[in-house]
Amino acid sequence: MKCKSLWDGVLEFFYPPRCLLCRNIVPPGRECCEACEKALLPANWSVRMIEPETGKTFVCVAPDPYDGPLRKAMLDFKFHNMPKHARFFAQRIFSQLRQSPFLTRADFVASVPLSRERLRQRGYNQSERIARELAALAGLPYFTVLEKHVENREQHRLHKKDRRQNVRGVYRILPGVPVEGCRILLVDDILTTGATLGECAAVLYAAGAKEVLCAAACRVSAQPESISC
Ligand SMILES: [Zn+2]
């Protein structure tokens, strides 16, 4: 037995993997127990977002509501140093998208970036973690193409009407990253008004992207099927 697998075995003995929803012990390699997985009924939203400045429309898919145990798992993922939850959220998005023709024509997966300060505080970008896992599941490359170069106020603290203005101009394409003519699957953690994804998609289109499909792990429900972001 190699050192790494021996050490993994010791860790698993003392800290067995647990279901991220109910905390029961699960077999190695599983994030969620069978009972919880059966109880999760995906909403599989496909929301048309309208960028009010340009009138351009984007589609954003989101498999699950930001509610109940999934909301708690997302909060653990983002704020309690549980980056391994990314695989579970990526699997949920992949289950929704696996029949989509977009996956067969997409060039790569990208994610909504964090500011440098937020990345330093959290230690990882949760959206990037989901995007990388999703890319692996879909057999696509992952590229970091966007950066957040302005520190703005936190979106969830703002009223809907202020969110679009708050994200305007805060994202840009990284120097030397070609997106022209590309079809991009753009990933975020939570879809609320769509302002953040809408702004990032607009930046990608302005840089010459051919097609952008947005995907979020969870959606704040009680929103209309077509939203102005
Ligand atoms: Zn469970």
**Residue 220's domain is classified under what CATH number?**
3.40.50.2020
Residues 33 and 47 in one domain: no
Q: Compute, in angstroms, the gap from residue 192 CA to the centroid of ligand 1.
A: 26
Query: Is the pLDDT assigned to residue 145 strictly greater than 70?
Result: yes
Asked whether the predicted pLDDT for residue 8 surpasses 80, the reply is no
Which value, to the nearest 10 degrees, does the dihedral of the CA atoms of residues 142, 61, 20, 192 take?
110
Residues 189 and 133 in one domain: yes
Find the domain containing 3 and state its range: 1-39
Same domain? For 180 and 202 the reply is yes
- Average confidence (pLDDT) over 70-94: 95
Question: 64 and 11, same structural domain?
Answer: no
Distance 102 CA to ligand 1 centre (A): 32
pLDDT at 188: 97
Q: Is the pLDDT of residue 66 over 80?
A: yes
Note the pLDDT of residue 78.
94
d(CA 18, CA 33): 8
Residue 135 and residue 31 share a domain: no
40: buried, middle or exposed (CB in 10 Å: 19+, 13-18, 0-12)?
middle
Least reliable range by pLDDT among 102-111, 112-121, 150-159, 181-190: 150-159
Residues 24, 47 within the same domain: no
Q: Are residues 177 and 215 in the same domain?
A: yes
Tokens coding 98: 């696996």
3-state class of 89 per DSSP? helix
Residue 31 alpha carbon to ligand 1 centre in Å:
9
Find all residues with CB under 8 Å of 176, minimum gap 6, and list them. none
Average confidence (pLDDT) over 176-201: 93
Report how far Cα 108 is from the mean position of its chain's Cα atoms.
14
pLDDT at 224: 57
131 and 29 belong to one structural domain? no
Mean pLDDT of the chain: 89
Q: From ligand 1's centre to the CA of 62, what distance in Å?
A: 21
**Do 23 and 57 reside in the same domain of the chain?**
no
Output the CA 85–ligand 1 centroid distance in Å: 13
pLDDT at 55: 79
- Report CA(38)–ligand 1 centroid distance (Å): 9
Average pLDDT of the segment spanning 106-114: 97
Tell me how crowded residue 220 is: count the other CB atoms within 10 A of its CB.
16
How far does the centroid of ligand 1 lie from the alpha carbon of residue 8, in Å?
22
Q: Determine the 3-state secondary structure of 10 from DSSP.
A: helix
Cα(139) to centroid(ligand 1), Å: 28
Rounded Cα distance between 186 and 208, Å, is: 15
pLDDT value of position 3: 60
- How many Å lie between the centroid of ligand 1 and the Cα of residue 27? 12
Q: From the CA of 159, how far away is ligand 1's center (Å)?
A: 34
User: Is the predicted pLDDT of residue 227 greater than 70, yes or no?
Assistant: no
Query: What count of residues does the chain have?
Result: 229
> Tokens standing for 145?
């193409």
Angle ∠(225,228,229) on CA atoms, nearest 5: 110
What distance in angstroms lies between residue 69's CA and the mean position of ligand 1's atoms?
10
- Per-residue burial over 58-87, b if 16 or more Cβ lie within 10 Å, else e, is bbbbbbbbbeeebeebbeebbeeeebebbb
Residue 138 has pLDDT above 60, yes or no: yes
Residue 50 has pLDDT above 90, yes or no: no
Confidence of residue 2 (pLDDT cuts 50, 70, 90): low
Q: Are residues 201 and 128 in the same domain?
A: yes
Q: How far is the CA of 123 from the centre of ligand 1 (A)?
A: 27
User: E strand or H helix at 48, and its extent?
Assistant: strand 45-50
